Amino acid sequence: MTILNRRWKSGVSATVNNYFEFKKTIRSINPQILILNCELPELFGSLINFKGQIICVEHTTYPWHKKRNLGKIVRLILRIKKVQWVTVIKDNKKIWFGKNAIMHIPNPYVPLSKTNKLSTQPPSLVFIGGMKKNKRPEWVIEAGIKS
């Protein structure tokens, strides 16, 4: 797992620097799948040239709350890139512009097993999002280990 160190509300220059760190990380690990979780990873995913599969996770009822116009541009680009959408919100049937099919996956609590060990193989699955308990990054780790 790679963590891009950017502090919340750190400004435009920190975001630009973090974007370049993101691009460098994607180039170095060359994943087959990107999971974009939250607005900033959506923005980064819309800007990079990525040939693998992109999955965006919608976990809020009002995304891009304070930057609605930027969000519309980002989501239009993601639509052009034909990303797959997943939501944890049961009644969310579509993403903006009404053409994206969205799959609902409930957000249940599942405790992390302490018996899993990290692999030495290069990654083929990448989680991009906040490293917060409610974002469940451990699920991606478990999925990678099991695959």
> Which pLDDT score, from 0 to 100, does residue 20 have?
92
Q: Answer with the residue of higher pLDDT: 7 or 139.
A: 139
Range of weakest confidence among 18-22, 78-82, 110-114: 110-114
Reading the block at residue 80, the tokens are: 């052009």
Measured distance CA(13)–CA(10) in Å, rounded: 8
Alpha helices in the chain, H assignment, sequence order = 12-29, 39-47, 68-80, 137-146
> DSSP letters along 3-28, please?
-----TT--HHHHHHHHHHHHHHHHH
Reading the block at residue 14, the tokens are: 């920190």
Share of the chain above pLDDT 90, in %: 20
Q: How confident is the model at residue 9 (pLDDT cuts 50, 70, 90)?
A: confident
What mean pLDDT do residues 21-42 have?
A: 89
Reading the block at residue 57, the tokens are: 């996770």
Full-model pTM: 0.67
User: pLDDT digits over 61-106, tens only?
Assistant: 778 888 889 999 999 999 899 898 888 777 766 666 655 667 777 6
